[in-house]
Amino acid sequence: MDNNSNYKVHFVYSSLEGATETESMWAEKIGDYYKILNVAFFAPNIAYGDIVKVEDDGGVLYFDELIEESGHSTIQMIIFDKDHQSMIENEILGFGCDWEGSHRKNYISIDVPSEVSYVRFKEYLMEGQMENRWNFKEACLSQIHRS
């Protein structure tokens, strides 16, 4: 593959049940490293745009370590009322965030860019959770959004 091609980077993590799982994400090669081009659905501690080091195991690329944080954060969300999913996805876009849909019904991953006020967005997330509209997990919070 040439340097303009996309690659799959595999992330190994433990599921809630304790099983070892693997999630792959698209990435582009940048020098010796790879820039993540997806929002993680299940893997923790990784966000869109992060620069990572990989280990090549017979042509399969596995995450080795985080080299540079992008400033983006990842929120994983399960929406309880399918009839409101489209409205919720539009509300998320209204905050300046983006989302990706999963193969699991009503499950989305949200990309929170560095320039988005996480204080305001987290208030929205907490309110929806308290109203039992969804449940969410802060899978990866950037330094920017932690402060």
- The CATH number of whichever domain residue 141 belongs to comes to 3.30.70
Backbone dihedral angles phi then psi of residue 130, each to the nearest 5 degrees = -65, -30
- The secondary structure element, H or E, covering residue 65 is strand 60-68
Same domain, 111 and 139: yes
115: containing domain = 73-146
Same domain, 63 and 111: no
Same domain, 50 and 20: yes
Q: Answer with the one of 68, 89, 120 that is the final residue of a domain.
A: 68
As a whole number of angstroms, the distance between CA 88 and CA 94 comes to 10
> Structurally, how many domains does the chain consist of?
2
User: Which CA distances in Å does 60 have to 8, 18, 71?
Assistant: 8, 23, 27
Q: Identify whether the C-beta of residue 66 lies closer than 8 Å to the C-beta of residue 122.
A: no
From first to last of the 147 residues of the chain, give the pLDDT tens digit.
344 578 999 999 987 788 899 999 999 999 999 999 999 999 999 999 999 999 999 999 999 999 999 999 999 999 998 889 999 999 999 999 999 998 888 999 999 999 999 999 999 999 999 999 999 999 999 999 998
| Helix, strand or coil, per DSSP, at residue 45 | coil
CA 114 to chain centre: 13
Q: Answer with the one of 48, 68, 88 that is the final residue of a domain.
A: 68
Same domain, 30 and 62: yes
Within 10 angstroms of residue 93's Cβ, the number of other Cβ atoms is 12
* Encoded tokens for 7: 């690659």
Total-model pTM: 0.89
For position 4, what pLDDT does the model report?
A: 53
Backbone dihedral angles phi then psi of residue 33, each to the nearest 5 degrees = -120, 180
